[in-house]
Amino acid sequence: MSSPSLPSEVATLLTEWLGGQWNAEALPGDASVRAYFRIFGPDRRSYMLAYYPEEVRGQLRRFLAAYAAVSPHGRVPDVLQHSDSAVLQFDVGDMTLFDLLHREPEKGVRLYRDAIDLLAGFQRAPGHEINPPFTAGFFLSELDMTREYYVEKLMDAGEGASTRLDPLFRKIAENVARHPLVLCHRDFHGQNIHVSNDLLYLIDYQDLRLGPDTYDLASLLRDRGVGRIIGEATELALVDYYATRAGATFGARARYFETLLQRSIKILGTFAKQPIVRGRMHYLEFIPPTLESVRRCLEELPEYAAISDLLPMNFSMDNARSRAQRMKET
């Protein structure tokens, strides 16, 4: 069997792994160049297949190393077969924790507590050597991407505001790098947690590395507008629950907001870059709730208040879409 969008080398592998009677359905991708397919086998079971083009084969090797480290400590989809270009996994369905929170908010909020349990288990996994740890320089480079793509290109704020942000961005990067270190997923948010039979499964964890202890928590509770749905009281209760569950040291709340500030500013750059470079305009929809997170952090952390005068905070979806489209075409 074959699929028009399935690479021929992968079709050959699937026939070897499953026999001749299978079908492939292409699935939407993520921010990477990896391709995803749902495979229907002759036994009527479905599988998930990820294909890694030549330029990202190193990611597949890191994924397999991460799977070996994480699978004994956190619930992840079982790897059933793999090659140097593709991996076949147990299918945990399409329902993500992010989707469930929007469809059934009450149930979704309850499962966010389970997600913190999943996070606490993940943080106990080995695999620290798979990727280099977060550093102040790394955090600063992420913020520099925001200066380029969000401040200068998407919002057209000019190099003056961008330059004046530099000492504040350096302060954030250096402070966050001094937080207690644990194993971080790096993108531990509701779209990377799938729900199957009320159990949570973590995906896309190959970029794991040592980093600040509340880094993944900030991603979980605030990325892509989650904070709007769960509310501040629930957010802070979950921060306290994490501190207890993970044995976090005193000051977890302050560290949470500081890592949230770094992450929020950083992902403004990600959400700006995707439409400008790849034409993925839907990423612009995530900018307003991200700006809300920045504002909330600045309320909690007055030492960074000057950021509100330099980082463009008044966002127009129509203007941003038009500007991104023009830049994509040039």
- Model pLDDT, residue 4: 54
- Model pLDDT, residue 31: 56
Rounded-to-integer distance, Cα 307 and Cα 139, Å: 16
- Model pLDDT, residue 7: 87
Residue type, 20: G
- Using DSSP, state whether 130 is helix, strand or coil: coil
SS (H, E, C) 225-272: HHHHHHHHHHHHHHHHHHHHHHCCCCCHHHHHHHHHHHHHHHHHHHHH
pLDDT digits (tens, 9 = 90+) for 219-277: 999 987 898 899 999 999 999 999 999 988 789 999 999 999 999 999 999 999 999 99
Q: What are the residue ranges in the chain where pLDDT is below 50? A: 2
Q: Say if residues 89 and 47 touch (Cβ distance below 8 Å).
A: yes
CATH number of this structure's domain 8-90: 3.30.200.20
CB atoms within 10 A of CB 35: 18
Q: Which CATH superfamily is domain 97-329 in?
A: Aminoglycoside phosphotransferase (APH), C-terminal lobe (3.90.1200.10)
pLDDT digits (tens, 9 = 90+) for 273-283: 999 999 999 99
- Model pLDDT, residue 61: 93
193-196 and 199-202 strand pairing:
antiparallel
Rounded-to-integer distance, Cα 278 and Cα 270, Å: 11
Rounded-to-integer distance, Cα 184 and Cα 287, Å: 24
- DSSP assigned state of 176: H
- Model pLDDT, residue 257: 98
Q: Do domains 8-90 and 97-329 have the same CATH topology?
A: no
Per domain, the residue ranges of the chain are 8-90, 97-329
- Model pLDDT, residue 20: 81
Rounded-to-integer distance, Cα 206 and Cα 32, Å: 12
- Model pLDDT, residue 166: 94
